[in-house]
Amino acid sequence: PILTEIEARLAFLVDVGLTYLTLSRAAGTLSGGEAQRIRLATQIGSGLVGVLYVLDEPSIGLHQRDNRKLIATLERLRDLGNTLIVVEHDEETMEAADWIVDIGPGAGETGGWVVHSGPLSELLTNRKSLTGQYLSGKRRIILPPTRRPIDKKRVVTVKGARENNLKNVDVSFPLGVLTAVTGVSGSGKSTLVNGILYRTLASRLNGARMVPGRHRTISGIEQLDKVVHVDQSPIGRTPRSNPATYTGVWDQIRKLFAETQEAKVRGYGPGRFSFNVKGGRCESCKGDGTLKIEMNFLPDVYVPCEVCHGARYNRETLEVEYKGKTVADVLDMPIAEAAQFFAPISRIARHLNTLVEVGLGYVRLGQSATTLSGGEAQRIAIARAFLKNASIMILDEPTAHVDLASEREILASLETVCA
């Protein structure tokens, strides 16, 4: 019986395409796609029936070949007599679904409605559904008609990369262009780009204390001045973190308010308009705008502050206005509206326009990071990277958590950065 059980569990790992892994492989060295499939294999191996499984974007980190294996695994779970609800942007997964619920039609305040609930065939003819328009081919991601010429003298070359699965490889990355690194899950992409290239550049250019993966040499670094890295790390875990603070535009807005006549008369500096320090903030909620209620054995609950009613600031600070708006009003603006409001102020407009370009015009400037979706947080991180003007940017799956329409906007922004 024990041998039978062992064979069955190993068969599940084989079914999800993990034949190349050793059983002693440390969990911390697994790629996102590998860890995802191991968790699914565990569920299949449990043999449970009549269970409702909720999966949040299981295709993230997977190559298309592995994605098909994932879909086959999900179908097997379904055929055992279980129900699966999958939150997903992947086209193949949507096309394999028996029933599709499409929420929209737009994002943020323009969303929140059930646009479609039914089979795929009906979604493809639904004019209100952006998802349906992309799946049917009526809309598509526009590819550039021509590719940028490659200057073979302007390259960064990694030689002798041999960390994890890498077999002593030499790879050149041309500068001034958009380079895609692809391959099946677990092939060594992240090890090469994040573990070796980025860590070496970060330690050499940014002074970061990072130990790169094993390699012989990296040449061409002298052509670069700074490296920026974007991955799926959250942009903040507290209500204090928001798009304005994360991108740095809030510092410029605070300085602008401090330059108003009323602020000068009262002796207010930029610090007065910070919700992180004493002086201008509401002391009841310490500038959070909300109060945290700890619930035993349940997630914490946040309620609006009874003193400032979510404004974050005290009454005296809110008496200072710029063009009829207080700092609280500005934080409550959608980013697209704020971009128009501050259009004459180039140092502020540049930050806001970048956020609009990656499709975040609907997000409020002061929206708490804890309420942002994974795709929104990802695009805010990308926007901040664009603003840093680094000579090389390394993005780890920038379209993860992102729908097809937003993916189109991100790719257009990447094209602009390379131009």
Question: Tens digit of pLDDT for each residue in 285-320?
Answer: 999 888 988 888 888 888 999 999 999 999 999 999
Contact (CB, 8 A) for 232 and 378: yes
pLDDT band at 419 (very low <50, low <70, confident <90, very high): low
What residues does each domain of the chain span?
Answer: 2-98, 155-224, 243-277+325-418
Which of the four CATH numbers 3.80.10.10, 3.40.50.720, 3.40.50.300, 3.90.230.10 does domain 2-98 have?
Answer: 3.40.50.300
Spatial contact of 338 and 367, defined as CB atoms under 8 Å apart: no
**In the predicted model, is pLDDT for residue 59 greater than 70?**
yes
Residue 409 tokens read as 């906007």
Q: What is the dihedral of CA 183, 389, 247, 373, to 10 degrees?
A: -20
Q: What are phi and psi of 62, to 5 degrees?
A: -105, 140
pLDDT score recorded for residue 111? 86
Q: 4-13, 15-24, 309-318 — which one is most confidently predicted on average?
A: 309-318
pLDDT in tens, 336-358: 999 999 999 999 999 999 999 98
Give the C-alpha separation, 58 to 70, whole Å: 8
Mean pLDDT within 132-151:
88
User: Is it true that domain 243-277+325-418 has CATH number 1.20.58.1610?
Assistant: no
Residue 262 has φ and ψ, to the nearest 5°, of: -65, -40
152-195 residue pLDDT tens: 899 999 999 999 889 999 999 999 999 999 988 778 898 999 99
Query: What are the helix (H) ranges across 17-98?
Result: 32-46, 64-79, 91-96
Q: What's the CA gap between 66 and 55, in Å, rounded?
A: 17
pLDDT single digits (tens) 61-105:
777 887 888 888 889 889 989 999 999 989 999 999 999 999 988
Averaged pLDDT, 106-133: 91
* Alpha carbons 226 and 306: distance in angstroms, whole number: 45
Q: For residue range 220-250, list pLDDT tens digits in order.
A: 999 998 999 988 777 877 778 899 999 999 9
Phi, psi of 86 (to 5 degrees): -120, 120
- Mean pLDDT rounded to a whole number for the chain: 89
**For residue 178, which of 413, 349, 401 has the smallest C-alpha distance?**
413
Q: What percent of the chain has pLDDT over 70?
A: 100
- For 99-139, the DSSP string reads SEEEEESSSGGG--EEEEEE-HHHHTT-TT-HHHHHHHTSS
pTM of the model: 0.81
Compute the C-alpha angle 44/49/52, nearest 5°.
85
